């Protein structure tokens, strides 16, 4: 586990603030740490800000880091409405406004990458540089949508240790790195009152009919002007390097970096490499 003890252990020596911020009536859980250029971290489907526990200390050394639970996720509010990409992006812009962030670097994993890209395309003045970390299923493959929907709903409807552990292990190439603490956090989120309804509102994005209005395609992706890093892995269960190649064609200013020996969560499995690549890209010359 490369010295990993616990999430608290990762944050124990990091000055940080955990609070709730009102964003358009949505009580939003936010963790902030560090100083420097603003960097906002966006988690994936059914996730929460602890997805970045292994990275916050390293990023906070050079950035003003903001990690948060998206609307309908983690311990943020769970309003009953579909959490489509425009809704999640609007929540992000509202959070930036509430925190007084005019523009920021965005780094999003999986669903968070989708939201970050959509935001960069539709609010270009608010995004400096963009990292799309295993953004997942760029080709909109029905079998990938079905697998994500089934594994997530199984764990949320019956958040037993075994079911939730299988859902978290889906994110990892090295499944032995899935800790009891991480599974316990997910179980606590999935067991929240109203979370079955909330995850159903999130999984509308795995319905091809709903998804078509937000699906990855060159029309809107090509509007992204922010320099973009495509951060891929060689064992991502949601999409291969062929999909990274598609994005490279659509994005006018992009580059690709592949982290080896990792799955859907390189920020957890390979934190040192993840941090190095972020520092080099976000702080590098244009």
Decide if pLDDT at 124 tops 70.
yes
Which residue has better confidence, 211 or 136?
Answer: 211
pLDDT tens string 220-274: 999 999 999 999 999 999 988 999 999 999 998 999 999 999 999 999 999 999 9
Within a domain: 1:
no
Report the distance separating Cα 7 and Cα 149, nearest Å: 27
Report the distance separating Cα 286 and Cα 282, nearest Å: 9
Within a domain: 255:
yes
pLDDT tens string 150-191: 999 999 999 999 999 999 999 999 999 999 999 999 999 999
Confidence of residue 148 (pLDDT cuts 50, 70, 90): confident
Within a domain: 222:
yes
Decide if pLDDT at 1 tops 60.
no
Decide if pLDDT at 10 tops 80.
yes
Confidence of residue 144 (pLDDT cuts 50, 70, 90): confident
Question: Which CATH number does the domain housing residue 64 bear?
Answer: 3.40.50.1820
Within a domain: 130:
yes
**Both tokens assigned to 227:** 């320099």
Decide if pLDDT at 140 tops 70.
yes
The domain tally of the chain equals 1
Residues of the domain holding 215: 7-283
The secondary structure of residue 273, as a DSSP letter, is H
Give the predicted TM-score (pTM) of the model.
Answer: 0.97
Within a domain: 2:
no
Within a domain: 15:
yes
Within a domain: 249:
yes
pLDDT tens string 27-49: 999 999 999 999 999 999 999 99
Q: What size, in residues, is the chain? A: 286
3-state secondary structure at position 270: coil
């Amino acid at each position: 586990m490369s010295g990993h003890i616990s999430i608290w252990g990762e944050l124990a020596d990091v000055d940080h603030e955990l609070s709730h911020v009102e964003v358009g009536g949505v009580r939003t859980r936010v963790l902030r740490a560090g100083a420097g250029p603003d960097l906002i971290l966006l988690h994936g489907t059914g996730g929460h800000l602890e997805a970045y526990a292994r990275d916050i200390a390293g990023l906070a050394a050079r950035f003003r880091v903001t990690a948060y639970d998206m609307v309908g996720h983690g311990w943020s509010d769970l309003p009953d409405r579909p959490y489509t990409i425009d809704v999640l992006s609007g929540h992000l812009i509202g959070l930036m406004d509430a925190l007084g962030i005019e523009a920021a670097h965005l780094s999003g994993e999986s669903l968070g990458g989708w939201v970050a890209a959509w935001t960069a395309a539709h609010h270009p003045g608010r995004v400096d540089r963009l990292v799309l970390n295993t953004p997942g299923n760029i080709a909109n493959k029905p079998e990938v949508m079905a697998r994500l929907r089934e594994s997530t709903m199984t764990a949320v409807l019956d958040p037993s240790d075994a079911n939730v552990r299988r859902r978290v292990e889906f994110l990892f190439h090295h499944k032995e790195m899935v800790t009891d603490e991480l599974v316990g956090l997910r179980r606590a989120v999935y067991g929240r009152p109203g979370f079955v309804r909330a995850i159903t509102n999130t999984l509308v994005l795995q319905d091809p009919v709903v998804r078509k209005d937000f699906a990855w395609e060159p029309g809107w992706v090509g509007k992204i002007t922010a320099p973009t890093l495509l951060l891929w892995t060689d064992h991502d269960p949601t999409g291969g390097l062929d999909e990274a190649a598609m994005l490279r064609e659509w994005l006018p200013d992009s580059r690709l970096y592949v982290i080896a020996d990792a799955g859907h969560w390189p920020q957890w499995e390979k934190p040192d490499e993840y941090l190095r690549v972020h520092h080099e890209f976000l702080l590098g010359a244009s």
